[in-house]
Structure 1
Amino acid sequence: MTDNQSKSIEKQPQESQVKNSQVKSNQAQTTELKSQNVVSNNSNTQSDAAKPAAKVTSAPEPQVKKVDIAIAGITYPIYCPVHEEEELRAAVFYINDYVLDLRRNSPSLSQESLLVLCCLNLYEKIQTNKRDKEDRSQQDKQSVALLNKVIQDAHSIL
Structure 2
Amino acid sequence: MQTLEKLSAQLGTLLEQKQHIMTTAESCTGGGVASAITDIAGSSAWFDRAFITYSNEAKMEMLGVSERLLNTVGAVSEPVVIEMVQGALKHSRATLGVSISGIAGPGGGSDEKPVGTVCFAWASTNGWHKVETVRFSGDRCQVRQQASYHALSEIYQYLSR
TM bracket (short chain): under 0.3
Q: TM-score normalised to the size of structure 1? A: 0.26
Structure with the higher fraction of residues in strand conformation: 2
Q: TM-score normalised to the size of structure 2? A: 0.25
Structure with greater contact order relative to length (CA < 8 Å, sep ≥ 6): 2
If you compute each CA radius of gyration, which structure gives the higher value, 1 or 2?
1
